[in-house]
Structure 1
């Protein structure tokens, strides 16, 4: 594949992923109301996993083809990009600060789970290299942490021990009657499956085109993965969150990002299994560690915003959104210069 064709192919696939993400939003909102699971759980677990398929395929493909830096940077860079996407969703919601209006105990727990998983990855990178059948044992612990955290979040929704103060700007997750009329659960599941297949194929070919661009353009694998492939494969999350805000499903918009990001950490587990030589955690360089630390910083800022709950900021955009975008831009300039 030539460099020019790879760039065109990359852009086309990015558009395809974005369109598929748009179609997922309505179905997810309907499914949350139809099943009674709620927007936070459906957005954070089911929708988060489905919109992550392209990113999984990209990281696994890159790792299998001997590009661990690209695989690692795509996984963690996607989390950073998606966290900043909430700032864009905040801009799209003109009534008030999105983090104030979408207050949810479930979303806070998802954010804490995400920081726990990212911090665990830092611990793995600092420890000695250990592999079992070519896989680092910590990869299995990451899966266990995610499962335990998800169960904890599910039980917290059923029996919450903490509840945010309600204001006139708070939008609660109340089932929409229209979403429960003339909607078949079977048709929703089929629609999800078909969209998942489209996103998976797009993710595979995005990885292929990214490897060509990295090889022929002089762009480092770290920067390519941390910015370009991660943003391209994360477009469904951006589209879903903005569309959800437009539909008034604010909890779904936030949980899709935070909950989906927790699942995205497992990209490293899958990539570690696909990498044929050694541990992906120890194939990473200082550039990947930098992106990881930046991501933890961004998520921490978001959690502070969710707890502080500023009603109105500059142009009704919260201080946390402005700070996240600023840190993201400065961080990636520094990454490019590294």
Structure 2
């Protein structure tokens, strides 16, 4: 049916699926936060892994659907473009969340967040290395770098879980004068609201499953329409996945992050972005297993370019979390202004490829 649809109709279906994924992903995120508290998974390794997976359901569904359809370029572009765009989401938090009193990284500065940013840089660095290997370096439908990315991510999650219980630093790695409310406040407030409304755990699980199903369906439709729109407009699947599709799938992070900041939990908002960005490259292993192709070794130059851009933007915010710039320009910290400027220049560079 979609194969014969016109470009305007495909665009409408694409936007409709995006709306479904946006709303459903917010419910998935909120119910996951509540369940992590009720099941006491918040600080545990298993809890961090679960949160990373379920909060990135749209990207997971798109990757699986694209790999099964042998449309790997779209999946890879969506993952790496999503990391760059979701890092720029922190600029949105800075401008509209914290107001005119100091920048986002001043309030949310924490060594734990620096560790999370370092995990993102580590897995993206292996992504660059893996892209330089021969496509024939395939064993049991996967390549060593894809396995290494998963191992690095799991190791990083373990370190993050240990760091959240305390660091051998003064104030356990928390900067003076920053966020006063403890991280996780937003999750606990969601839980209290659910409890006050009389919502049982069975009800929360039911909402989660329905929202996850809606995300599944919406993600498949997004992948199919993205491929067709890219072909009709003459844009490569990698670039369309890295721009339009990545922007759409990052919208839930904008909504949930802004909600956390309004509840006084800036650290959680940044942690969710870095946590999701660290998890996304692990989807390359899934794409290789399903497609039987060495995904990293067949990356086009545009996706390799986006990987480097993601490393650059993440590194800037990592430095910002340590330096903690006080001054703002255009309602944002100096680090956010630099990230926004470099991202815009990066997109212009991408357009020339």
Q: Deviations over 1:303-336 (max 9, x none)?
A: 1111111234124411111111111111111111
In the alignment, what sits opposite 1:141? 148
Residue pairs, 1:185-334, within 5 angstroms:
185-276=201-292, 278-334=293-349
Q: Partner residue of 2:177?
A: 167
- How many residues of Structure 1 are paired with residues of Structure 2 in the alignment? 337
Question: How far off is 1:126 after superposition?
Answer: 1.6
Structure 1 residues 77-116: aligned runs within 5 Å = 77-93=81-97, 94=99, 95-116=101-122
Residue pair 2:110, 2:175 contacting (<8 A) in 1 also: no
In the alignment, the residues of structure 2 paired with residue 96 and residue 28 of structure 1 have an alpha-carbon distance, to the nearest angstrom, of: 31
How far did 1:41 drift? 8.2
State the shift of 1:29 in Å: 5.0
TM-score, scaled to structure 1: 0.90
Indicate whether 1:154 and 2:169 are aligned.
no
Q: Which runs of 5+ in 1 are unaligned?
A: none
Structure 2 unmatched runs, 5+? none
Give per-residue Cα distances to partners, 1:144-179, cap 9 Å, x unaligned: 221111111111111322312221654432645784
Query: How far, CA to CA, are the matches of 1:295 and 1:209 in structure 2?
Result: 26
What is the match of residue 22 of structure 2? 18
Do the aligned partners of 1:102 and 1:171 also contact (CA within 8 Å) in 2?
Answer: no
2:134 is aligned to 128
RMSD, aligned CA: 2.5
Q: How does 1:56-75 map to 2 (within 5 A)?
A: 56-75=60-79
CA contact (8 A) 1:298 1:324 kept: yes
The answer to whether the Cα contact below 8 Å between 2:29 and 2:54 also exists between their aligned partners in 1 is: no
Task: Provide Cα deviations, 1:219-249, integer angstroms capped at 9, x if missing partner.
Answer: 1222101101111122211221122212222
Deviation of 1:279 after TM superposition, in Å, equals: 0.5
Q: Secondary structure at the match of 2:138?
A: coil
* Structure-2 change in CA distance of 1:113 and 1:137 (3 Å): same
Tell me how far apart the structure 2 counterparts of residues 12 and 179 of structure 1 sit (CA, whole Å): 30
C-alpha displacement of 1:65: 1.9
SS at match of 2:328: coil
Q: Secondary structure of 2:312's match?
A: helix
1:22-71 CA-to-partner distances (Å, cap 9, x unmatched) read 33454455456556655898996444422311112212222322222212
Q: Please say which of residues 32-41 and 125-134 is displaced more in the overlay.
A: 32-41
Q: Partner of 2:58 in structure 1? A: 54
Structure 2 Cα separation of the partners of residues 41 and 170 of structure 1: 25
Conserved? CA contact 1:43–1:256, under 8 Å: no
Check conservation: 2:131, 2:298, Cα contact below 8 A. Answer: no
Moved more, 102-111 or 217-226: 102-111
Higher mean alpha-carbon deviation, 161-170 vs 214-223, is at 161-170
Contact kept, 8 Å, 2:88 with 2:340, in 1: the verdict is yes
Q: Is the 8 A contact 1:43 1:255 kept in 2?
A: no
Whole-angstrom distance in 1 between the partners of 2:266 and 2:295: 36
**Equivalent position SS for 1:158:** coil
